[in-house]
Chain A
Amino acid sequence: MKKIILIGLFLYTFLLNAANGVQLEGGFKVGPAIILISILVLFVLVGVFNQAKDTSDYYAAGRSISRVGSGMAIASNWMSAASFLGMAALMYGSGYHGLAYVVGWTGGYVLLLILMAGQIRKYGKYTAPDFIGDRYYSTGLRAVSAIVAILISISYCVGQFGGIGLMFKWVLGLDYYWSVIIGGTVVLAYTMISGMLGVTKNMQIQYVIIIVSFLIPLFMMTFKFDYFWLLPQIGYGAAVSDIVNGIPAPEISNLLNAFGHDFAILPSPEYAMPWDASTGQTFFQWMAIVFSLMLGTAGLPHVIQRFYVVPRARDARWSVVWGLFFISILYWSAPVFSALGKILSANPEIGQLAPDAIVIYTAQIANLNPLIVGFLAAGAISAAFSTVSGLLVAGASAFSHDLYFKVLNPDSTPKKQMFMARMATILMTIIVMAIAMLKLALIAQLVALAFSLAAVTIFPLFLLGIWWSGSNKKGAIAGLTVGLTVAGISLVYFLSAKYGWALPGQEFFTFWLGAWYFAWIGAPLAILTNIVVSLFTEETPYEIRKFLVEKVHT
């Protein structure tokens, strides 16, 4: 017993000292590294004990997950580096503009629920391309939508890898590029092991770890800086007002940050006032981002795929309710980090911090225990890992199941399909790592791009496919073409702006077809095109219409 206590004391002191200091970056942090490794091992072990037994188990968890459990899985799948790190980053840098992401990434669930969740479950497929190929009776559309699903996964993953790179950089003390390579390799290994195991069960545990690691610092910081700490999600309102009106530095310091600076800030109304000119963001952009993110939410393949894992359509609906509630806990909390981070970094000696790491920096500057900060960083990595593994599985299954098995080689054996899925996972990881190293934008913005892409491609096909039997193959092809064209134009102008090439109408297209919100026009155009072309071409086959009426809308 004595030995155990001694070892415990030694470990505690070691871990405490190992991660001490107020350097925001610094070298290798033993404590956070141990926490991170422990959490990853836990995930793998949970996966091992909940191993998938067959295809249905692998893709759809045997359709035996409870509503609350499925809600947690939806939340875990959803809460990525963009939610954990990116939202606070946007609010820290652009104030009220960042709230567009909070609203967009939650409000879309209302659409998803009332327009799709139950019907998707009743349709009874495994993947989004499966549904599209079947509903629009087209192998070509199945193939294209599989490619689109892979592109969405890649784009979504780039933001996640950015977050993983930042957090590995923080834990390991290496430069960003090496951190992306190491983090990417670890996430690949993790997905290859756990992707085959009990993914859904794992997601429930991941949710608990992510949310606990996110909430503990909030309670501690609001308590420490004298805000209403029992409910920090409301208590930080006073901090927002303090930022607007300013907090004068006291003559005798009492509240100090880790650098010994006063808890003070000059009046900064631009943090809270809507579409403040100094942030460079406009009213139109706010609305367009909200709209695009909402439609994108209802069109993301890896989100839609979650509805196949519940036993009945009724459970699909309630799992959205639970999922949204669990997600909202994090989304109510993220602005607290940015508000406190804003005040804590107001001293000129700290200055503007790297926005994407503001969640971690805020906890550090607030002088929280290094192990708490380490746990927070591990939570951020867990958030990215849970989403990335889901995305890589979705992307790999789009390739091996929808593209390779259903289109290219229908006679392939399950073993061959699994091999192709693994190859696709490795290839996707390499592509994503390479793009993540380019640091094209903030994490949340890169993820928003995936949402816009989903909103102009998958969302119209699902919306019309479910609710209007008149939507046919030709309409779907035309709508998808329009959606992809808008996305293509937006991406070309985004890249040209990024690398300083001046294309005709550069300013116009960069503003009105921004890469994070081109769906504001792309999605309505894709829907309209689908409707018009469908009206003027031959009707949807009888069997499909019958299936929709009898199975999906009964």
Chain B
Amino acid sequence: MEEQKDYRISFFRPTTPFSRTNRNLVIILVLIWAICVFGFQILLRVMEKPTPEKALITFEKVWGNVKDGSAVESEKIEFANSVLMVLGKSTLAAKPEKRAVLDNALSWVVYDLMSGDSLRSTFITEIENFEKQKANENLDLKDVNYLNAKTSIINRVAPLLGIETYSLKAKLLPHELKSDGLVEFKAENKEKIHSVMSLYLTHNQSVLTDTVFLGFPFHYFYTAVFLLILFVVLCWVYSFKIDRLHTKSGHFNKPSESN
């Protein structure tokens, strides 16, 4: 007798009104979930445009002249400043080969901006002295010799590049100027510098990333904050609706209810 019953279930072919309502609810919630999670990221992808930072625009303006050696002083200063903007990015720390390209470019252009042999020779000594201090395994960042070596480089180079001695760019100088890259901008580094600069100074931006909402870039707020709120709400709605469905059908009143 029992064998005649069709004991088959399938999500897409519900056999009871409850299953039908449940299926519809699940489909609606999954659609909202999928569109909000993946749909938004696809929209972000569709709308984005590779947008250069100001430093890249400056770099591209002066790079031609710097490369062929015809750059004037102001162009060299702009070149050095644009390179510093990339050297200040912490993501670069994980890529020593790319950092080496930029260190060479910066060291070479700063050395080139120095006028007079005696100044250059003092500068080389200062850089070497700082490198020696930094190589010390037990380096104390408050050590007077270390601080003096650092400050003398900043005080010498920052005014040359038109930056304030207290700025973060100035503080990068002692760490990024390398004694082995002062005299020559190596040919292989010249070849690579444009792609390194483009890589670090071009970002995928659109109105979704440039709009500020509650202090956040909008897309960041949407992904990091809103989506999590949405997930909690979706879960709440489902549990609430299913409870109501059970209450309507009198299921919770049954003594043996297991829902």
Residues of A in contact with B (beta carbons under 8 Å apart)? 93, 95-96, 99, 102-103, 106-107, 109-111, 113-115, 118, 122, 228, 233-238, 240-241, 244, 248-251, 253, 259, 262, 264-270, 272-279, 283, 286-287, 290-291, 312-314, 317-318, 320-321, 324-325, 328, 331-332, 335, 342, 345-349, 351-352, 467-470, 542, 545-546, 548-550, 553
Minimum CB–CB distance from A431 to chain B (whole Å) comes to: 30
Decide: A313 near B258, CB < 8 A? Known: A110-B234, A274-B219.
Answer: yes
Decide: A237 near B216, CB < 8 A? Known: A274-B44, A470-B8.
Answer: yes
B18-48 CB mask vs A (1 if < 8 Å, else 0) is 0100000110011001000110010011001
Dominant SS among interface residues on chain A: helix
Chain A residues whose CB sits within 8 angstroms of the CB of B176 once the complex forms: 348
Q: Once the chains are docked, how many angstroms separate the CA of A361 from the CA of B6?
A: 62
**Closest chain A residue to B11, Cβ basis:** A467
Q: Is the CB of B33 within 8 A of A345?
A: no
In-complex Cβ contact of A270 among B89, B219, B259 (8 A): B89
Q: Is the CB of A266 within 8 A of B53?
A: no
In-complex Cβ contact of A248 among B8, B38, B167, B236 (8 A): B167
Minimum CB–CB distance from A545 to chain B (whole Å) comes to: 4
Counting from the closest, the 4 A-B pairs by CB-CB distance are A237-B215, A352-B93, A237-B216, A266-B88
Chain B residues whose CB sits within 8 angstroms of the CB of A270 once the complex forms: 89, 91, 200, 203
B171-215 CB mask vs A (1 if < 8 Å, else 0) is 110011000000000000000000000011011110001001111
Minimum CB–CB distance from A307 to chain B (whole Å) comes to: 13
Q: Is the CB of B232 within 8 A of A324?
A: yes
Minimum CB–CB distance from B170 to chain A (whole Å) comes to: 8
List 17 A-B pairs, Cβ < 8 Å. Answer: A99-B224, A106-B231, A107-B37, A110-B231, A113-B239, A241-B216, A251-B164, A264-B168, A266-B168, A270-B203, A274-B45, A274-B204, A275-B204, A290-B41, A312-B259, A321-B235, A470-B8
Q: Is the CB of A266 within 8 A of B9?
A: no
List which B98-144 residues lie within 8 A (CB) of chain A: 141
In-complex Cβ contact of A96 among B199, B223, B231 (8 A): B223
Minimum CB–CB distance from B41 to chain A (whole Å) comes to: 6
In-complex Cβ contact of A278 among B33, B91, B164 (8 A): B91
Chain B residues with a Cβ closer than 8 Å to the other chain, count: 75
Decide: A468 near B90, CB < 8 A? Known: A269-B53, A314-B243.
Answer: no
Q: Is B68 interfacial (CB-CB < 8 Å)?
A: no
Chain A residues whose CB sits within 8 angstroms of the CB of B252 once the complex forms: 314
Q: Is the CB of B225 within 8 A of A332?
A: yes
Q: Is the CB of A468 within 8 A of B10?
A: yes
Q: Once the chains are docked, how many angstroms separate the CA of A103 from the CA of B45?
A: 17
Q: Once the chains are docked, how many angstroms separate the CA of A317 from the CA of B7?
A: 25
17 more A-B residue pairs beyond the given contacts A317-B238, A328-B229, A332-B225, with a C-beta to C-beta distance below 8 A: A103-B37, A109-B231, A110-B30, A114-B25, A114-B235, A114-B238, A115-B26, A275-B204, A321-B236, A324-B232, A348-B175, A467-B9, A467-B10, A467-B11, A469-B8, A469-B9, A545-B7
Q: Once the chains are docked, how many angstroms separate the CA of A414 from the CA of B26?
A: 42
Q: Is B160 interfacial (CB-CB < 8 Å)?
A: no
Decide: A272 near B235, CB < 8 A? Known: A241-B215, A553-B19.
Answer: no
Decide: A241 near B212, CB < 8 A? Known: A469-B8, A548-B9.
Answer: yes
Q: Is the CB of A106 within 8 A of B228?
A: yes
Q: Is B64 interfacial (CB-CB < 8 Å)?
A: no
Q: Is the CB of B242 within 8 A of A317?
A: yes
Q: Is the CB of A352 within 8 A of B231?
A: no
Q: Is the CB of B227 within 8 A of A107?
A: yes
Minimum CB–CB distance from A9 to chain B (whole Å) comes to: 30
Q: Is the CB of B205 within 8 A of A269?
A: yes
Q: Is the CB of A320 within 8 A of B7?
A: no
Residues of B in contact with A (beta carbons under 8 Å apart)? 2-3, 5, 7-11, 19, 25-26, 29-30, 33, 37-38, 41, 44-45, 48, 53, 85, 88-94, 141, 164, 166-169, 171-172, 175-176, 199-200, 202-205, 209, 212-217, 219-221, 223-225, 227-229, 231-232, 234-236, 238-239, 242-243, 246, 252, 257-259
In-complex Cβ contact of A542 among B7, B212, B232 (8 A): B7
**Closest chain A residue to B170, Cβ basis:** A249
Q: Once the chains are docked, how many angstroms separate the CA of A142 from the CA of B223?
A: 39
Q: Is the CB of A118 within 8 A of B259?
A: yes
Chain A residues whose CB sits within 8 angstroms of the CB of B93 once the complex forms: 351-352
Q: Is the CB of B231 within 8 A of A287?
A: no
Interface-centre pick from B38, B169, B214, B239 (highest chain A CB count, 10 A): B239
Minimum CB–CB distance from A379 to chain B (whole Å) comes to: 20
Chain B residues whose CB sits within 8 angstroms of the CB of A324 once the complex forms: 231-232, 235
Chain B residues whose CB sits within 8 angstroms of the CB of A111 once the complex forms: 30, 33
Q: Once the chains are docked, how many angstroms separate the CA of A269 from the CA of B171?
A: 20
Minimum CB–CB distance from A108 to chain B (whole Å) comes to: 9
Q: Is the CB of A272 within 8 A of B217?
A: yes
Minimum CB–CB distance from B10 to chain A (whole Å) comes to: 5
Q: Once the chains are docked, how many angstroms separate the CA of A283 from the CA of B216?
A: 21
**Closest chain B residue to A113, Cβ basis:** B235
Chain A residues whose CB sits within 8 angstroms of the CB of B88 once the complex forms: 265-266, 268, 346, 348
Decide: A290 near B221, CB < 8 A? Known: A114-B29, A278-B89, A321-B239.
Answer: no
Decide: A266 near B169, CB < 8 A? Known: A244-B217, A351-B93.
Answer: yes
Minimum CB–CB distance from B217 to chain A (whole Å) comes to: 5
Chain A residues whose CB sits within 8 angstroms of the CB of B7 once the complex forms: 469, 542, 545-546, 548-550
**Closest chain A residue to B228, Cβ basis:** A328
Q: Is the CB of B220 within 8 A of A240?
A: yes
